């Protein structure tokens, strides 16, 4: 229920999002678990991806004049799904965009977008897994028919 309310709030099309195809992989590095995070600095919020959120926060903090705080994160099984989630959160927050991945908004808005994007991405992953299982079952059935012939 919260996902639907968040999608309405951010004018985000969940139906269109759930039609995205499975991500393509291009090397072994995207098979690592990766998090989508929300970090606050002053009155700005950043949504990004990192394998180690705390290390990323410290790196960002060392480059800027203000302290930064991790507001939340969500772990995904692979980098491509984390990037899909990040892109969805950025779309949700687009009207607050300051520059690149930084958004000028209340921390609660940034966290709400990240959580909604993560929930939507988990639904997308479930759909992709279900479709892959059906394909595998159909392939096995066809092999059995060919072997029986």
The DSSP string of 18-62 is TTPPPPP--SGGGGS-EEEEEEEETTEEEEEEESSHHHHHHHHHH
pLDDT score of 28: 55
Average pLDDT along the chain: 89
Q: Which helix (H) or strand (E) holds 38?
A: strand 34-41
Domain boundaries along the sequence of the chain: 2-148
**pLDDT tens sequence across 82-130:** 999 999 999 999 999 999 999 999 999 999 999 999 999 999 999 988 8
Global pTM value:
0.85
The CA distances from residue 12 to 16, 20, 53, 95, 135, in Å, are 9, 14, 26, 12, 30
């Amino acid at each position: 229920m919260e996902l639907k309310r968040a999608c309405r709030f951010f004018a985000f099309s969940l139906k269109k999002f759930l039609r995205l195809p499975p991500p393509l992989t291009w090397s072994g590095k995207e098979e690592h678990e990766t998090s989508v995070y929300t970090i606050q600095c002053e009155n700005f919020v950043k949504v990004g991806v990192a394998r180690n959120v705390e290390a990323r926060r410290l790196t960002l903090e060392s480059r800027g004049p203000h302290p930064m705080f991790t507001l939340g994160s969500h772990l995904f099984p692979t980098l491509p799904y984390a990037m899909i989630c990040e892109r969805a959160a950025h779309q949700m927050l687009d009207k607050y965009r300051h520059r690149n991945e930084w958004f000028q908004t209340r921390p609660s808005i940034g966290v709400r977008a990240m959580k909604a994007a993560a929930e939507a991405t988990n639904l997308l992953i479930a759909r992709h897994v279900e479709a892959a299982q059906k394909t595998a079952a159909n392939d096995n059935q066809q092999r059995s028919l060919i072997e029986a012939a």
